[in-house]
Amino acid sequence: MRPEELLTPTPDGLYCRPGGFHIDPIRPVPRALITHGHSDHARPGHGAVLATPETLDFMRLRYGDGFAGAVQAIPYGEPLRLNGVTASFHPAGHVLGSAQILVVADGLRAVASGDYKDMADPTCPPFEPVRCDIFITEATFGLPVFRHGDPQAEIEKLLRSVALFPERAHLVGAYSLGKAQRVIALLRAAGYGRPIYLHGAVEAIARYYARRIDLGELRLARDADRDALTGAIAICPPAALNDRWSRRFPDPVTAFASGWMRIRARARQRGVALPLVISDHSDWDGLTATIAATGAPEIWVTHGAEDALVHWCRRRGLAAQPLHMIGYGEEDPESEGLESAES
């Protein structure tokens, strides 16, 4: 079997014709295998959705119980037979429940990475390299300029600002699934013991995480008076940093936790005073190290800086191609829009 007979890019998403399923399709399909719960990968309306239990829970939280005609929870490592093709889910280290999907047929092994990171994260299982013949990698930060550094050092930067400006609130823009909970966990690991305030759009997923890991005391910002918010840290969707929700806080300092904050022009465009380089995607070094760890002689690159990573692969003797698939955005594009709508 040739690689393109096992998995094929289509306008709906990556398609496994012999198995009869799509991976992270962007439009409704009869059967979808979903890598993780971010809205650019996990969409409602499919006939059947197969995903990890946590990803199914996040889809229910966001879309309601009827988000698909049928659902099937697949634990990590459990083989699933679909029309003679075997599929299995393996930790991707991106957010809670995130998975790479291994597809095997006639001895050919292909891994669709979804989004992933190879850096330690207290809020989700770590990334596990999977040996394969074809590795389909994301390239969100697929340029050498993107090297994320130590996230705990970024949290220390935030805490120094809190100590320097005790009369001001600090608002941290963070995507509601994964990033927000990671920032909270990093704050607790750094010894921050005060209540952390939440935007309403962050609450449901934060409470879900809090049933699994200790995130300390969490409070809704809308229930607090102005005095309680003096000197506080609050977590909100990025789009809420400069909308009317932020006006309840005393002279707020705006921060944004994202790998994009490596580019200072992005921080200036958003009016971010305190950029925090914390990403739930692998940086350039992580992407290239992961490609090497899979042992795959063939690399397909999707959604991101595809050309630079393809060039890197080809210079090392790997067969590589860009997929030019559309419909997959930044870390969690849902957080850029209506999710911020809380007065």
**pLDDT tens profile 201-238:** 999 999 999 999 999 999 999 999 999 999 999 999 99
**pLDDT tens profile 129-138:** 999 999 999 9
**pLDDT tens profile 144-183:** 999 999 999 999 999 999 999 999 999 999 999 999 999 9
Single pTM value for the model: 0.94
Which domains are present in the chain?
A: 3-145+280-329 (3.60.15.10), 151-276 (3.40.50.12650)
161 φ/ψ sector (left φ>0, alpha ψ -120 to 50, else beta) = alpha
What is the structure's pLDDT at 333?
A: 43
226 φ/ψ sector (left φ>0, alpha ψ -120 to 50, else beta) = alpha
Beta bridge partners of 198: 220, 235
**pLDDT tens profile 39-77:** 999 999 999 999 999 999 999 999 999 999 999 999 999
Percent of the chain with pLDDT over 90: 91
pLDDT of 118 > 80? The answer is yes
Cα–Cα distance for residue pair 304/189, rounded to 1 Å: 31
Contact (CB, 8 A) for 299 and 137? yes
Torsion of CA 274, 278, 283, 286, to 10 degrees: 150
pLDDT of 250 > 70? The answer is yes
SS (H, E, C) 139-168: ECCCCCCCCCCCHHHHHHHHHHHHHHCCCC
β-strand pairing of 108-112 with 13-16: unpaired
**What does the mean pLDDT of the chain come to?**
94
Q: Which pLDDT band, with edges at 50, 70 and 90, does 303 fall under?
A: confident
SS3 content of the chain, % helix, strand, coil (to 5): 30, 25, 45
pLDDT of 123 > 60? The answer is yes
